[in-house]
Structure 1
Amino acid sequence: MKLANRVAVVTGAGGGIGRAIAIALARRGCHLALADIDGDAAADCARHARALGVRASVHPLDVADRAAVRALPSQVDAVHNRVDLVVNNAGVALGGSFEQVGEDDFDWLMEINFHGVVRMTRAFLPHLRLSNDARIVNVSSIYGIIAPPGQSAYAASKFAVRGFSHALRHELEGSTVAVSVVHPGGVATAIAKNARAPAGAPPHEIEKGRAIAERLLRMAPEQAGEIIVRGIEQRRARILVGSDAKIAALLERLSPVHYWQLIRKATAR
């Protein structure tokens, strides 16, 4: 896929993987509509993108806000007059077992991680169909391939993104709109630090969980962004980011029921 002079909408563009994707796209001459709940962070990303010679608009957005998502395509069109690429990257984390996580917290996470992806896709698909070469890129997770204990809500949301992406790809086969699903492994973003903890969870458990998660977040976001954008250029339907994601995918394929026992033994060693 030739990205020069295309227009990409990127959610969660204010930091982490989203910002890295946006800058990698800008380096290839792709114009940007940058959406993030933190408008100042999105504006900072836009400044860096413009320094690379592309047009970049800023759109403060909560993907859980239905009305705001419905209004976004017209806002993007007013600046860019087209859309060729939508990167659904915005997401949040929530630790805790299923019994620890309350219904409101579970629904909060699903509204952002899954329903946000669906809303963005519904809002922009008619516009993407006007492009001669368009793509929807949905960021799932390594936890959209494997489901560790203590991640029931997060894994549910990321498996949902994966299933939605696969079905949508099949439905759009033969059109000018393709679909990629991205499974990042441990990328050094602030997602673990900013993760919501279930009410009533012991503080020492929360801190232990965050410490473990942060040790696993090793890859620089900039490297992850480059891998993802190269995958877009290569029209890959599935983009695995990092050796940990590749190993997890292999283990899940070889042992779809008992992979967690294998992973637990390996990490213990």
Structure 2
Amino acid sequence: MARMQRLEVHGRTTVITGAASGMGAEVARELGRRGARLALVDRDADGLSALGAELTGTGHTTHVIDLTDDGAVSALATAIEASHPHVQALITCAGSSMLGDISQLTMAEMRWLMDVNLWGTVNITQALLPAMRREPAAHITHLVSIYGLAAPAGRIPYAMSKFAVRGFTESLRHELERSTVSVGAIYPAGVKTGIIGRGRYAAAIDPAVADRAAAAQAAMYHTEPADAAVRIVEATVRRKPRVMIGREARLVDVLTRVTPTRYWAPMRRPLREAIDTTTPIR
């Protein structure tokens, strides 16, 4: 098999969704240090503005948008192509979380998370793909999750959305295998981004109980966002199809291969407090 051509990021454009905070912002900073031109996408106008002012280099653009709005995404793709003649990479960091078990969640709550995590990812990918096909080499990096490898109790909407992003990523990789565009998935575990604190929880959950579960989940995060960003950027530059970030991701990857129907048994105990959205606060 021929070795895949590396991307040269200096002076060429990477589009980053979820760029206003967390891993998206750290990925932007890392690429900015490498001389990339950036199209930064997020719903958070203030966060994007602050990041844009911080970045060195020229040619960066910011785009405030809801990725679940089909018309807005189509217009976004046109605007990005007008400002960035060479879009060679897309890194999708946008996403949210949802706490609650099946008896607490509503269909509307679960659909909302699927719209954000899955359809937002599909939407921007489909919209930018024509521009990326025109490049001699391009790469799409989707952030999945450790919960796209293993589905824990208490995280049904999040696991559904991340397994779906994984499926989309792998199917798209196969569709594009004879093109100049490669596709990769990143499986982070325990990155200290604050996503669990900024995410939502089922309206049926006592807010204090939700806060307790979110804090227990956050206490399990060990990887610094800046360290994860270096791995994500390197995976994109090297056009890697599959990268694990964090010791837990590598362990879960092995566990789900060895025992695909019983991996929950060893995971249950360390996650017991993070998935408990029913025990009252005493």
Report the TM range for the smaller structure's normalisation: over 0.9
Partner of 1:69: 73
For residues 94 and 132 of structure 1, the distance between their equivalents in structure 2, rounded to whole angstroms, comes to 39
Matched, 1:149 2:150: no
Matched, 1:14 2:14: no
Which of 224, 229, 237 in structure 2 is aligned with 1:233?
Answer: 237
Which 10-residue stretch deviates more, 257-266 or 140-149?
257-266
For residues 63 and 215 of structure 2, the distance between their equivalents in structure 1, rounded to whole angstroms, comes to 33
Which of 116, 120, 142 in structure 2 is aligned with 1:116?
Answer: 120
Which of 36, 41, 52 in structure 1 is aligned with 2:47?
Answer: 41
Deviations 1:90-130 (A, max 9, x none): 00110111221111111111111000011111101111101
For residues 206 and 64 of structure 1, the distance between their equivalents in structure 2, rounded to whole angstroms, comes to 26
Assess if the C-alpha contact under 8 Å between 1:98 and 1:153 holds in 2.
no
Assess if the C-alpha contact under 8 Å between 2:256 and 2:263 holds in 1.
yes
Matched, 1:23 2:25: no
Partner of 2:96: 92
Assess if the C-alpha contact under 8 Å between 1:3 and 1:30 holds in 2.
yes
Let me know the Cα RMSD of the aligned residues: 1.4
Alignment of 1:1-269 (within 5 A): 1=6, 2-49=8-55, 51=56, 53-264=57-268
SS at match of 1:86: strand
Deviations 1:188-244 (A, max 9, x none): 112111121101113343122111111012211111101111111222101111111
- Structure 2: gaps spanning 5 or more residues: 1-5, 273-282
Q: 4+ residue stretches of structure 1 with deviation over 6 A? A: none
Assess if the C-alpha contact under 8 Å between 2:147 and 2:159 holds in 1.
yes
Partner of 2:279: none
* Equivalent position amino acid for 1:149 in 2: A
Q: Percent identity?
A: 36
For residues 72 and 243 of structure 2, the distance between their equivalents in structure 1, rounded to whole angstroms, comes to 29
Provide closer, same or farther for how the CA distance between residues 133 and 222 of structure 1 changes in structure 2, counting only shifts above 3 A. Answer: same
- Structure 1: gaps spanning 5 or more residues: none
Name the count of aligned residue pairs: 266
